[in-house]
Amino acid sequence: MIISKKINDLVKKYHENKLSHAFLLVTNDINKCNKDIMELIKEISCPNKYQDACQDCNLCYQIENDVIPNIKKIYPDGQQIKKSQILELKEQFKTKPLYVANNIYIINNAEKLNSAAANTMLKFLEEPENSILGFFVTTNKEAMLETIKSRCQIIYNPYDNENITEILNLTDQQLEEFTEIAKEYLPKLINKTEDGIYLNKKYILSVFTEREQIIKFYNYLYWQISEKINSPQKQRELDFWKNIAFAKLLKIQKALFNVLESSLFNVNIELLLDNFALEMEKL
């Protein structure tokens, strides 16, 4: 399996004994990033010289199938990652690793750590042990607590958007429609042209007839802006993000994140759009 260059660089640093104890991976695809991390774990754990699809031992098979007790993956329980999940991790990691070189944790959607969980997690980060290696994976670095970010090596690990339709469960037609709508919608929204920012609700409700479509559209915008923020040197940029200052992009990303987070709690769609308009008014 070919892994991303950023992850491959970590493999090299590991073999040079220069690997940090905790990483914050900022990505636009949690699943792909997880696969890359698992390939990294295979490479640094291999008792021989690692080869893809190696048949010399069954360690890679065990890693791939999540049966190594020293490798712990954590996902949000409902809308948050809770303190009890981190306490369980700490209890599990009291013992030294047996099957692999390190006790390894992967916290997915790490921006969803609630304050109690994050504070408990800081113990791992403030008093790192040589045998513990951690990965925080997020699509929204700005939503991460500063106390976590400041103690991790931050790595931007974006993926090309050929699979955006699969990631967001869009049809090709929806992708094309969303792109065209964004080209008309965003300049009005960002530059506050025509009749002002409150056209936001009127415009969105005239284009989309269902709540699910609106949420998908905002997911599309959030995914696209995250990709631009996470890979600022990327040449292939969509027209509607050009000439927007980076600081403004971060604020738009945060506003989009708030929309999507509120949608999880079934907030009235018109109220949600009003709140988004208010956030955009502050730009």
Shared domain for 143 and 68, answered yes or no, is yes
* CATH (domain of 123): 3.40.50.300
* Residues across the chain: 283
Domain boundary pick from 159, 174, 208: 159
* In a shared domain, residues 140 and 256: no
Hey, what are 88's tokens? Answer: 């369980």
Q: Which of 110, 129, 159 finishes a domain?
A: 159
Please indicate whether residue 28 or residue 153 has the higher confidence score (pLDDT): 153
Per mean pLDDT, which of 104-118, 129-143, 195-209 is the most reliable?
Answer: 104-118
Identify the domain boundary among 159, 177, 197. Answer: 159
Answer yes or no: do 119 and 223 share one domain. Answer: no
Q: Assess contact for 66 and 35: CB atoms under 8 A.
A: no
Q: Residue 222, exposed/middle/buried by CB under 10 A (0-12, 13-18, 19+)? A: buried
What does the pLDDT look like over 81-128, one tens digit per residue?
999 999 999 888 888 877 787 899 999 999 999 989 999 998 778 877
The one-character DSSP state at 16 is: T
Task: Report the C-alpha gap between 29 and 99 in whole angstroms.
Answer: 29
Alpha carbon 256 to chain centroid distance?
A: 14
Could you tell me which residue, 241 or 253, shows the higher pLDDT?
253
Comparing C-alpha atoms, which of 160, 151, 72, 77 is closest to residue 113?
A: 77
How far are the Cα atoms of 14, 27, 50, 101 from residue 41, in angstroms, in the given order? Answer: 10, 18, 11, 9
Give the pLDDT confidence score for residue 160 in this predicted structure. Answer: 58
pLDDT band for position 230 (cuts 50, 70, 90): low
Q: Is the pLDDT of residue 137 over 90?
A: yes
Within this chain, do residues 149 and 220 fall inside the same structural domain, yes or no?
no
Same domain? 146 vs 173: no
For residue 40, what pLDDT is reported? 86
